[in-house]
Amino acid sequence: MSDFSDVQDPSSAAKGKRAGRLPQQERSQTRIAKVLAAAEQLLAEIGADAASIPEISKLSGIPRASIYQFFPDKYVLFAHMAQLQMERVGELIVAMRPQEGEDWKAAIGRVVRGVADYYNANPAAAALLMRGNFTPTDRKAHEEKDAMIGSLLRDFLQAQGMLKELPLQPDAATLSVEIAFACMRYGYVSDGSISEAICIEATEATIAYLSRWE
């Protein structure tokens, strides 16, 4: 019998290879939280390749059958977790958004370091977001996250009267975000963390690209 009795039609998750509708009852939400916490711990300790639903079940104390009801395989679970982490990164960047009068190049360096610090302090987030995409839904979420950050950057530049010719097609602001994340991803894959040297490269590469429209 399922531990998540308040969810209807759980079989659709397994058929569609995507997360089922998550529960609304507090008790069931607590169980889901335990699953996510256990998965996050295993990601940080042994990585995505070694982590498994049986190990997550053992660590969380939640039966495998109940986990599979919502996450038909570990990659669907990881994709769900990646989207949660992307929301946190987005909130972090919004909180670090450039201030009026701040030089745009300095702002990019500050934000790059802030994001790198978050990944370095949260190894599960880095494992989820720096290693690539788990599902098409995950890939789309990455694209939407980068577009959101690009939009924030464009709004700041326009408000400061800078880089007025920055094109929308292709979206140069979003491409600059992709450049910064590509540098950070390279550093993470190579070294297991994002170093100060990589932050400098990410900042300089992004600035060099955007400077074409100065």
Report the percentage of the chain scoring pLDDT > 90: 47
Residue 166, pLDDT score? 94
Fold of the CATH domain 11-72: Arc Repressor Mutant, subunit A (1.10.10)
Highest mean pLDDT among 86-90, 140-144, 207-211: 207-211
Backbone angles phi, psi at 128, to 5 degrees: -80, -40
Answering whether pTM is above 0.85, one says no
pLDDT 10s digits, 122-144: 999 998 888 766 667 777 777 88
* Type of residue found at 15: K
pLDDT 10s digits, 159-202: 878 898 999 999 999 999 999 999 999 999 999 999 999 999 99
CB 179 within 8 A of CB 206: yes
* Type of residue found at 38: A
Cα(183)–Cα(175) distance, rounded to whole angstroms? 13
78-213: in CATH 1.10.357: yes
CB 59 within 8 A of CB 41: yes
Question: What are the extents of the domains in the chain?
Answer: 11-72, 78-213
Distance from the first to the final alpha carbon of the chain? 63
Cα(46)–Cα(90) distance, rounded to whole angstroms? 26
pLDDT 10s digits, 31-85: 889 999 999 999 999 988 899 999 999 999 999 999 998 899 998 899 889 888 8
CA angle 159, 169, 97 (to 5 degrees): 30
* Nearest of 49, 182, 209, 34 to residue 115 by alpha carbon: 182
- Interacting residues of 48 by C-beta distance below 8 A, sequence separation 6+: 74, 78, 127, 128, 131
